[in-house]
Structure 1
């Protein structure tokens, strides 16, 4: 079966079209693991990862795939798990079909890895909550129709004082900022979202009040596994580019792949790829079986895949030499799209902390 993904061969534009987004919906990439009775495909974590691995390999627009995965795992999937009202269900179906674009509002200027100290507040008023604050890094921020926003409802309760809200772009007091000019993943627009006296009715509270940390942790469990399937596919594509190059490129009268130093780099790329693939499979199996160690397995998969793709992209640049350093060339583009992988969804240091905790350290 041939799957036609929307994108040009190499996309470096700051955004995607609504037509491309709708096509992602038709391909089932916007609600992969959302139950079918809520508009999704109802796939397991393992099947979701297989689909996104394929997408990462054959679709050259990694930024758009990242936008779709963030929409799916940080917004649609937690909404499916914790929804309780008709408003939630209507938005969820629109997210899965591609009619609506969603963004997750968690990160703030002074709350990145530490999400227990959100400056964005939600004050109870008659009929709902009044939200005030700024989310500094919202994927799909400039284009989103709806946001899953986390805010502090009880500053004394730590993680139990955070609540999730469904915020519509048209709500009074919602103001998306200008898109950040990023090094990579440029076709996924990211921006601040400002909230000023934004009234959110009770029916758009997601899950119980105070359950925001648990909801976010659930979304990160899926994001740290299935989103990184895109990077497994990307590594597969990168490996293919390098194998073809070292077979064709000749120096000193022979293919450069004949030189041990060159072959060793390619073998290292293959090793990283297969290590990440196997760890991803184990993480997804743990999610599907609701295993106690699912969080640790997802952290391990995320750590190995993210650091592996950056290392392999750097190796690829060296294998291609000057051609690998030219802006717009596939290898250079892949490097820029890879660098952020060790940062978003929790930095590598945070993943190591989670893994250490699983070990009882």
Structure 2
């Protein structure tokens, strides 16, 4: 595996950073405070191809390989200080767009991928329920046969982009006797269909510009053409979403870690106590040195996971390792940055407290750290 950037990848990285800094950071303190999701910024990101990075150009995408996607998302996390926007973009791309690209019929891809890639539509991935987060076997949403289609009844919760989503990949039990493997089906569902509604919108600790809420289905009729993949094949669709999400969502985390490291170094050089910069104190210098080690390790794990996602039949183990290690490194880096800034780090205007609030969620969404450890243990035969 050679992770030296090609000329094209260098241009992608530099261009994404420049775009993010110039276009995505205005009025961020206010947007975070008011929990504002910006459709205007969403469309701006689509203008440079973020929402369709790996999708073939024939379907409106950019056509990048997985490693190049990771490089772009890392650059986005580095240049864009709006962690909620980066998260919403990643959730849309990796858990909605990618499953449709990988499992959809040609008709579904022709219909849905262009507007998902060009910023017209916002996508969501709806599997989590009140009683089935990590325990997907406890799913209660049901889809039963009705003529030439299905009636879906149930609800989903903690759905990223849910309150603003125009399209959702929704999972429902279609054969309870078969359980999760063979008994769950994925459906493509449009906002505005009779029986499809939004429930509560939640307030969150962090990622406040990324809306999250409930989706409710009351005898929602969808035709057979709404089935994504095969009837009973929902587990395969979900596995694809999780592999891509866990491998590439953390690329944005790497970019955030690099930005926090640079912020910490600059502060340690400029802040003076007892007649010298605080970076001259070993306790501070060692904390910053650890940030650098964590950053480089996280970057290598992310790039390897992305490469293996593209080149191996199964990257689930690599995805779990990257998700676990990078998310926990991000959380530690963000906490260390606040500590290093002292009282200033606790203040909103310095913007590092927001990075910490955003980072807490990274060890929960896309499968908790505990779930990633369990996945790794199973791969080891335990």
Do the two structures share a fold, i.e. TM-score over 0.5? Answer: yes
1:7 and 2:25 correspond: yes
Structure 1 stretch displaced more, 203-212 or 26-35: 26-35
1:96 and 2:141 correspond: no
Choose from 256, 269, 285 the match for 1:263.
285
1:77 and 2:95 correspond: no
1:66 and 2:66 correspond: no
Give yes or no for contact 1:296–1:358 (8 Å, CA) kept in 2. Answer: yes
Give yes or no for contact 1:83–1:89 (8 Å, CA) kept in 2. Answer: no
1:17, CA displacement in angstroms?
2.3
1:313 and 2:334 correspond: yes
Mapped partners of 1:295, 1:190: distance in 2: 26
1:331 and 2:352 correspond: yes
1:179, CA displacement in angstroms?
1.6
1:279 and 2:297 correspond: no
Mapped partners of 1:208, 1:147: distance in 2: 17
Mapped partners of 2:251, 2:304: distance in 1: 12
| 2:324 match | 303
Choose from 145, 149, 158 the match for 2:166.
145
Per-residue Cα deviation, 1:291-346 (whole angstroms, up to 9, x for no partner): 44x11111111111100011111111111011111235311010011000000000
1:85, CA displacement in angstroms?
5.1
Q: Which runs of 5+ in 1 are unaligned?
A: none
1:54 and 2:72 correspond: no
1:244 and 2:266 correspond: yes
Distance 1:338 1:141, change over 3 A: same
| 1:225 match | 247
| 2:230 match | 208
Q: Secondary structure at the match of 2:129?
A: coil
Mapped partners of 1:152, 1:88: distance in 2: 24
Mapped partners of 2:204, 2:349: distance in 1: 15
1:7, CA displacement in angstroms?
3.3
Give yes or no for contact 1:175–1:195 (8 Å, CA) kept in 2. Answer: yes
1:110 and 2:131 correspond: yes
1:358, CA displacement in angstroms?
2.0
Q: Tell me the TM-score normalized by structure 1.
A: 0.97
Mapped partners of 2:98, 2:56: distance in 1: 9
Structure 1 stretch displaced more, 64-73 or 20-29: 20-29
Q: Tell me the TM-score normalized by structure 2.
A: 0.92
Aligned-pair Cα RMSD in Å: 1.2
Q: Secondary structure at the match of 2:377?
A: helix
Paired residues, number: 360
Mapped partners of 2:112, 2:360: distance in 1: 32
Structure 1 stretch displaced more, 282-291 or 2-11: 2-11
Give yes or no for contact 1:22–1:97 (8 Å, CA) kept in 2. Answer: yes
| 2:61 match | 40
Mapped partners of 1:358, 1:290: distance in 2: 16
Q: Secondary structure at the match of 1:228?
A: helix
Distance 1:129 1:144, change over 3 A: same
Give yes or no for contact 1:117–1:158 (8 Å, CA) kept in 2. Answer: no
1:100, CA displacement in angstroms?
0.6
Per-residue Cα deviation, 1:114-160 (whole angstroms, up to 9, x for no partner): 11221000011001000000101111111111111000001111122
Give yes or no for contact 1:116–1:162 (8 Å, CA) kept in 2. Answer: no
1:345 and 2:366 correspond: yes
Mapped partners of 1:263, 1:186: distance in 2: 32
